[in-house]
Amino acid sequence: MIEPTSKVWMDGKLVDWGDARIHLLTHALHYGTGVFEGIRCYATERGPAIFRLREHVRRLMRSAHLYHMEVPYSEEELVDACRALVRVNDLSACYLRPLAIRGYGEMGLNPVLAPVEVSVLTWVWGAFLGEEALESGVRAKISSWKRNDHNMLPPGAKATGQYINSGLAKMEALKAGYDEAIMLNTTGHVTDGSGENVFVVRDGELATPPISAGCLDGITRDSVMRLARDLGYAVTERDLTRFDLYTADEAFFTGTAAEVTPLREVDDRALASDGRGPVTKEIQQAFFDAAHGRIERYRGWLTPVGG
């Protein structure tokens, strides 16, 4: 259960958490017509700082653009809204959820008739797949559900409606006793987890599916590619099959929520590392160091919430 924080930003106003309500006739509730982001704010020695905030806000705007949603705020206004909300809620570390939805006003399948309503929520969210998972890794199942593709619901946009596809995969994996799902595309190549990108490590090299395969253009994925290259690893974006997952030396998920979470098993096949492998550990450490502001060269990824 999410613990309430004090305020929610709703269309330019800070309202009490308990008053952050919408009408049942909200268009997005019926037709999935919303776009959203997931962002983390980390405690750093210079105070709370939001990780790659501008990139997240830009992606929100791109998602909105795809769905013909005119967001009535500039990127800078949304950046300020996120910072102000963390400040007013007095949080040192948290998750942020900007959300733009087709709101109350019209029904039917033409979304443009319903107004765009924008909000930002924050709450304290620990390790998405569990603290222990960060060390011991998770067990994943290749889903029988295919990922929505570029000509169905473009996977590059984070639209609320498309996440029922991820939900199907996640429920299937959990009911079968696994921790997470990995979805393939319609040509059988790996895309991503229900809410994470995937990397494999083999012979000291990293590989991750290209965006064209149908994964989200993950911001943690991008950060990890940069960190890995800076650490001297070769990183390629190439189509991966399930065989690549089963036979990897190491594999890990990346995502705002999941951060860098090792994979221990895929479809009951233990990976060679049988838990968090050495390359995953090094990259995970570098990621947390960067996110907590402990590495000078990545300070630009952090937006302080200010005082």
Dist CA 12 CA 2 (whole Å) = 23
Interface residue with ligand PLP, options 117, 179, 180, 192 (CB under 6 A): 192
Contact status: 195 vs ligand PLP (CB under 6 A): yes
**Hey, what amino acid is at 32?**
G
Tell me which of 158, 170, 175, 281 is the catalytic residue.
158
Contact status: 277 vs ligand PLP (CB under 6 A): no
In 3D, which of 106, 26, 102 has the Cα closest to residue 64?
Answer: 102
**Strand partners for 263:** 138
Element (H, E) at 57: helix 53-66
Taking CB under 6 A as the binding criterion, the range among 62-70, 93-101, 192-200, 290-298 that sits at the site for ligand PLP is 192-200
Nearer of residues 38 and 154 to ligand PLP, judged by Cβ: 38
Contact status: 197 vs ligand PLP (CB under 6 A): yes
Instruction: Name every residue whose Cβ is closer than 8 Å to that of residue 162 and which is 6 or more positions away in sequence.
Output: 32, 148, 153, 155
Interface residue with ligand PLP, options 11, 31, 32, 38 (CB under 6 A): 38
Dist CA 1 CA 286 (whole Å) = 30
Nearer of residues 143 and 256 to ligand PLP, judged by Cβ: 256
Dist CA 82 CA 301 (whole Å) = 15
In 3D, which of 23, 118, 25 has the Cα closest to residue 69?
Answer: 118
Interface residue with ligand PLP, options 213, 219, 245, 290 (CB under 6 A): 219
Q: Is-catalytic flag, 146? A: no
Contact status: 265 vs ligand PLP (CB under 6 A): no
**Hey, what amino acid is at 23?**
H
- For tokens 């990108």, the residue is 197
Closest distance to ligand PLP from the beta carbon of 14 (Å): 25
**Hey, what amino acid is at 246?**
Y
Interface residue with ligand PLP, options 102, 221, 264, 276 (CB under 6 A): 221
Nearer of residues 254 and 273 to ligand PLP, judged by Cβ: 254
57 phi and psi angles, rounded to 5 deg? -65, -40
**Per-residue x/- mask for ligand PLP, residues 163 to 182, rule CB under 6 A?**
---x----------------
Q: Which residues bind ligand PLP (CB under 6 A)?
A: 38, 166, 192, 195-197, 215-216, 218-221, 254-256
Catalytically annotated residues: 158
